[in-house]
Structures are given as C-alpha cells and as structure tokens.
Amino acid sequence: MNSIKYNKELVYPSKVVCVGRNYVEHIKELNNETPSQMVLFNKPNSAITNKLKFFSDTHRFEGELCYLIKDNKIAGIGFGLDLTDREAQDYAKAKGLPWERAKAFNGSAVMSDFIEFNGNLEDLSFKLFINDNLQQEANFDLMIYKPLTIVEEIESFLNLEDNDIIMSGTPKGVGNYKIGDKFKAVIFENDKEILNCEWMVI
C-alpha cells in the first residue's frame, strides 16, 4: 500500500475522500453549477504519492487543504494536489459517467507530510506558489462546507478509517502545469506558518 508521513511516521490511508465544488469562485471559474448537496468522490490508495508527475497537457492541478482522520475525527492536516484529467472529466460529465478515469488514476493524489493539529480549524489557511508566483489561496471563510460538516456528511454513508484523508476542495486558480515547474504550498494557523512543502514536476 502507498503511504504518507504523519508526525514523521509512515501511515497507510485506505482512501482519499474529496470534496468537489466547495469554493464559490472556483465554481464560477469552471462555469459549473452550484451543487444542491455536497459533491463527494473517492481516490483509492493507489492514487496517493509524494511525487508530482506530468501526465499530459489535459491534466490540471487543484491545491487543497487536507485532513487526516483518526477515531472518526480530524487529527492532522496536510496539503494535497488533486490532479485531474480535464478531457476525461469533461467527457464523463457530458455522458453522465463516473469520474474515476479523470480523478482516481495512479499518482493523482499528491500529498505533503501531515502534522498533528489540535487547534481551531477556523484559523487555517493556505497559499500555493508555482515558480514563486502566488497561484491559489484560501481560508476557512471561503469554504461552502466547513470541515466538521464534511466529516459528518461522509460518515452518513461511508466509514472513515484511521489515516484516511479528506481533500476539502480547491479555490480558484487551478490550471495546467509542465515538467520543471516548482510548486510550494504553505499552511498557516492565523498568520503563523505551520507546514510547508515543495514539489518539482517530473
């Protein structure tokens, strides 16, 4: 099984549960409809990686604040890139088909290390830089569905197991990327940096 680091130790998430369309500006950015209920989809363990790979010109990145679950509660935080095959997703949407080919392929859940977090989730925000330019940023207030609501909704139909990850949705600023691009993500608690990670596209 693929692993991530949580408090510097390897853990093995069984799955990644992702929230779609959780930021109003991102919905507008892609000309999507605002959903009447929470949009959720899964990425399997085989999607998890700590490397950012270039797949094709139709693939885009979506930066997201991520939560690690223990005992059905948010125990840790990290940063993730939800990689999406835009062409495959557009086809699936047009035909009313599932999203797995667009969202759940190997290497599509790029994860930072995770750290334990016992503070207020409302105080968290992040910034994503590509080649030193600010690309995405988000905070608690911009989320349509807040973290505890997300956990409750997932648990209403799907068991969250220890070390599972929730990707909480992406703000505006998603886009394509190329080999050699440098990604840097920073998570803040209030104005204090508490986690950062970097990837070079290979």
CB 169 within 8 A of CB 22: yes
Q: What is the DSSP letter of 152?
A: H
The per-residue pLDDT for 25 is 73
Q: Which helix (H) or strand (E) holds 184?
A: strand 182-189
Domain boundaries along the sequence of the chain: 4-200
Instruction: Give the pLDDT of the chain (202 residues) as one tens digit per residue.
Output: 999 999 999 999 999 999 988 987 755 666 666 677 899 999 999 999 999 999 999 999 999 999 999 999 999 999 999 999 999 999 998 999 999 999 999 999 999 999 999 999 999 999 999 999 999 999 999 999 999 999 999 999 999 999 999 999 999 999 999 999 999 999 999 999 999 999 999 9
- The secondary structure of 77-100 as a DSSP string is EEEEEE-EEHHHHHHHHHHT--SH
The CATH class for the domain spanning 4-200 reads: alpha beta
Q: How many Cβ atoms sit within 10 Å of the Cβ of residue 9?
A: 8
